[in-house]
Amino acid sequence: MTTGLKTPSSYYIELITTFPPRPITNEAELIATQNQVNHILDKGKLTQDDRDYLKVLGTLVYDYEDKNEPMPTLKGIELLTALLEESNLQPKDLVSICQSESIVLDILNRKRELTASQIKELTAFFHISPASFLE
């Protein structure tokens, strides 16, 4: 009967022996783990062993940050600005929702408030909850 796990290569054993993956419990361990990730990434061409090891370290970093460094919650115009940037969109890309680019710019510059119908269309466009636009 096989377990489904392949025998690790000597290189992978070297990786986990040099910097054993352990749950991160403090900022110093986080920095050390991030430095190890960067050290491997700086090599350039990565082997499958490198990628597997990085996946383990990345999971440990994610788990620590998820518990100890929560992401700020963006709402309203701050969220809209972030969504535009993240999606590589410009104000002109929302003209179909806000009727004109100048209206979009007024909303982004807080000279105008979003209307209920604009919020409804933006939530459909970005696939998020309408509550996200309520400040």
In-domain check, residue 51: yes
Which CATH number covers residue 106? 1.10.260
Q: What is the pTM of this model?
A: 0.54
Number of domains comprising the chain: 2
What local confidence, expressed as pLDDT, does residue 134 receive?
81
DSSP 11-80: HHHHHHHHS------SHHHHHHHHHHHHHHHTT-SPPHHHHHHHHHHHHHHHHHHHHHSPPPPP-HHHHH
| Cβ atoms within 10 Å, residue 15 | 23
56 lies in the same domain as 86: no
62 lies in the same domain as 83: no
In-domain check, residue 4: no
Note down pLDDT in tens along the chain; length 135 residues: 456 678 889 999 999 999 999 999 999 999 999 999 999 999 889 999 999 999 999 999 999 998 997 767 888 999 999 999 999 999 999 999 999 999 999 999 999 999 999 999 999 999 988 888 887
Would you state the structure tokens that stand for residue 3, as one six-digit string? 């377990």
Q: Which of 20, 35, 68 is the last residue of a domain?
A: 68
User: Which structural domain, as residue segments, surrounds residue 49?
Assistant: 10-68
